[in-house]
Structure 1
């Protein structure tokens, strides 16, 4: 009988330790080492995206850095992944140039204890724990076609000016564009070409020129890449077909402002890429701090963006795309 208080005390102590352990997981660790690896470091979109990540890291007391290649090749990111492993980074945030080519290196990183979060452009799920999707992929693809349909009165030949042929996000969006085009209201619209500018300004400019020359009945072009849409707009702005061929897609307000104001582009869409990087950094910190494991239903708070829930296959969706036009474009600066 005299031993019962001792047993109860031990049980109470154990419960107390358990509660303390749980309490620790609700706080983000300070001094986390986080690497941000964009597709390439010269792309204005990627610069804005990673700056959002750096801003989030500053808020949570993490040590973050941006590294990356100058091109968007499938293997160009490998050395940076290996460096993150060697430097014992707590987390690596990656916008993947290829869905599968990086898998062996990312798996090695995870085995070494590096938490992997992809943003913007995903790998196969086994290469990461969480994917920060800028918007629902189906919604993006369908919205692009819906917008172009309105701009062309749902008639004529159309084309797509994409980034690289193996870009995960581009190909997923294009798949949904093609699905949207199957609907009856698009029966008078025909997709005649998918061109690739390789996320290179001059290549995209040349591809846009080629589309105009090859398809005299072209009425509209969708370029779901910030490099492609700005290069395409630059070509159209000095072309006799300015205002006659509708160009839309995904671009940043700052790079597209002049083309909206001079009538080259009526409307285009995007999200705030800085918010993508910001959300990805909070997710990575939550993983590295033990707040979440990446399973479906896990929740975490991302600073000014609020609370998010992890969906199927580790996907977290930032929000729906936004349409920019002459009436609102001056309200944005990124």
Structure 2
């Protein structure tokens, strides 16, 4: 399904375990911009692209999420592995059980030794993985980042779930509507190192600097480290520290689920508004019981699917990662590589009581 048009329920995801994790955060928008400008666009190969080249058969593509056994990445990587089967390749998921900055390095080294054709990685830290990824690329392995980017000299292409600015600003806008543009708010993020959350939070702060938010105050950015219990405890701590808190933005599916669980059983239910990034199956009951009014997300399976086709296009020579190159991503259609090697999945969808039952993932 193509997120650039509309979302539809998908049988592929029906019956999967509830998604609870996704999106990590802490450096600034200027930091990310500096990292991106410090390297050539997508570190594109010197070889010329051949858009008419067929996808190679038997490509070996490894998916390296922030954490294995993280339901968000399970679904994303299943979408990617399904794509590899479509084009006659072989996909697998490997990775650490924790989301620490350097936990992915040993897996990159092993995948390099295994001579994978491509590595698809969601980086726990934008810089810690780069030396190992450079070695992989020197060995001829293509690297695609997805969900959370590496520094650009560590990869060929970054598959982004949605525009960072759109995600940062719309989460503030959603919460502002719910609290009447007035009151103290907090952000419950994931880890302090993930580039996606860091960038979103910077755009949140920039959005909050506009005159229409003059009566809203961001009092705290808390980190639940993509851990359910810590996120639950951090939510509890926010309400104890700020008893007059009006709302919470949690741009991580682990955090928003934990915060919703805490709020649903507290006197703050319905008083402290909650929004952020989550999945319909994960948050349906909290929408229906009034804990959450609205939240947003993209399709995790489509994100993995697009990342797989990006990796295959790179490994087959259809693209090098240069701006303006195009490729076809199976059922999702045609995509064009943007500045700094970014491929954008599409705009997120807002879920609320009116439409949440139309989705099953």
Q: Same fold (TM over 0.5)?
A: yes
Q: Which runs of 5+ in 1 are unaligned?
A: 1-20
Q: TM-score normalised to the size of structure 2? A: 0.86
1:326 to 324, 336, 353: 353
Superposition RMSD in Å = 1.2
**Are residue 255 (structure 1) and residue 250 (structure 2) matched?**
no
1:46 to 64, 73, 82: 73
Find the counterpart in structure 1 of residue 318 from structure 2: 291
Cα offsets for 1:222-270 (capped at 9, x unmatched): 0000000000000001001100000000011111111111111111010
Moved over 2 A (4+): 21-26
Shift of the alpha carbon at 1:26?
A: 2.4
Task: Answer 1 or 2: higher relative contact order, Cα 8 Å, separation at least 6.
Answer: 2
Determine which structure has more spread, i.e. the larger CA radius of gyration.
1
Alpha-carbon distance change, 45 to 23 in structure 1, aligned in 2, over 3 angstroms: closer
2:181 to 138, 154, 161: 154
**Are residue 300 (structure 1) and residue 323 (structure 2) matched?**
no
- In 1, the alpha carbon distance for the partners of 2:237 and 2:348 equals 29
Indicate if the aligned counterparts of 2:49 and 2:320 stay in contact, CA closer than 8 A.
no
- Relative to its length, the structure with more helix (as a share) is 1
How many pairs were matched up?
314
Find the counterpart in structure 1 of residue 299 from structure 2: 272
Indicate if the aligned counterparts of 1:45 and 1:252 stay in contact, CA closer than 8 A.
no
- In 2, the alpha carbon distance for the partners of 1:133 and 1:103 equals 18
Indicate if the aligned counterparts of 1:43 and 1:227 stay in contact, CA closer than 8 A.
no
1:145-224 alignment runs, 5 A limit: 145-224=172-251
Alpha-carbon distance change, 115 to 272 in structure 1, aligned in 2, over 3 angstroms: same
- In 2, the alpha carbon distance for the partners of 1:114 and 1:331 equals 40
Cα offsets for 1:80-106 (capped at 9, x unmatched): 101110000000000000011111001
- In 1, the alpha carbon distance for the partners of 2:156 and 2:184 equals 41
Find the counterpart in structure 2 of residue 142 from structure 1: 169
Find the counterpart in structure 2 of residue 5 from structure 1: none
Alpha-carbon distance change, 30 to 24 in structure 1, aligned in 2, over 3 angstroms: farther
Find the counterpart in structure 1 of residue 84 from structure 2: 57
Q: Which runs of 5+ in 2 are unaligned?
A: 1-47
Indicate if the aligned counterparts of 2:295 and 2:352 stay in contact, CA closer than 8 A.
yes
- In 1, the alpha carbon distance for the partners of 2:85 and 2:256 equals 32
